[in-house]
Chain A
Amino acid sequence: GESVGLHLPTLSVQEGDNSIINCAYSNSASDYFIWYKQESGKGPQFIIDIRSNMDKRQGQRVTVLLNKTVKHLSLQIAATQPGDSAVYFCAEKRGSTLGRLYFGRGTQLTVWP
């Protein structure tokens, strides 16, 4: 069936390295995507979003890349810091669903000093 999913459930990186978190989606009608960060004991926090008419969007230390050809979304975090340790979710809005978001399971990012 259609789903929003993540390639890897866990990712461990050294402090200062770059992190790449991946997300696959299967609904070609999806027109909006969001990355959320969830720290332990907290609610999901918005990081960055991208619309389907874009391939790339940059924020502060984060970049989201969208490849519509292969239905793939990635979040790149530059110079990863211990405070970046969290679960990262991608979410998609499917074009005909009145703004409802569909969430992936999440990737646990652990940053080692």
Chain B
Amino acid sequence: DADVTQTPRNRITKTGKRIMLECSQTKGHDRMYWYRQDPGLGLQLIYYSFDVKDINKGEISDGYSVSRQAQAKFSLSLESAIPNQTALYFCATRGQGINETQYFGPGTRLLVL
């Protein structure tokens, strides 16, 4: 897990505020993902990126945006946070080739009041 880091680990914010979650990886992987996890539900894909110039929407991209600043960095933004975006957010990475495993960061717990 130390290969994929997320900041902050916990965040409390108010409705309407802009917030950015950061993800960095030292695995040298080109593919990066942002997921959201809600209690009792599986991981839902928000956005993913196959390289620096490639950004793709996932299943639940509304209300979110991303930026792939470099191969190692992928940030998730909530332009105007709302309470139903309270959740656990995970970043994941995956390399090229036949190994299709995704490796996850430790997560960011976000509370929107």
Contacts and interface: CB of A to CB of B under 8 A. Distances in A.
Nearest to A103: B42
A43 B100 contact: no
Tell me the dominant secondary structure on chain A's binding face. strand
Interface of chain B, main secondary structure = loop
A68 to B, nearest CB: 18
What interface size band does chain B fall in?
A: 20 to 34
A4 interface: yes
Contact of B43 (A44, A93, A99): A44
A45 B42 contact: no
Contacts of A112: none
Interface in A32-81: 32, 34, 36, 41-46, 49
24 contacts: A34-B100, A34-B102, A36-B104, A41-B107, A42-B107, A43-B4, A43-B90, A43-B106, A44-B43, A44-B104, A49-B101, A89-B42, A91-B43, A93-B100, A98-B50, A100-B48, A100-B58, A101-B45, A101-B102, A102-B42, A103-B42, A103-B43, A104-B42, A105-B40
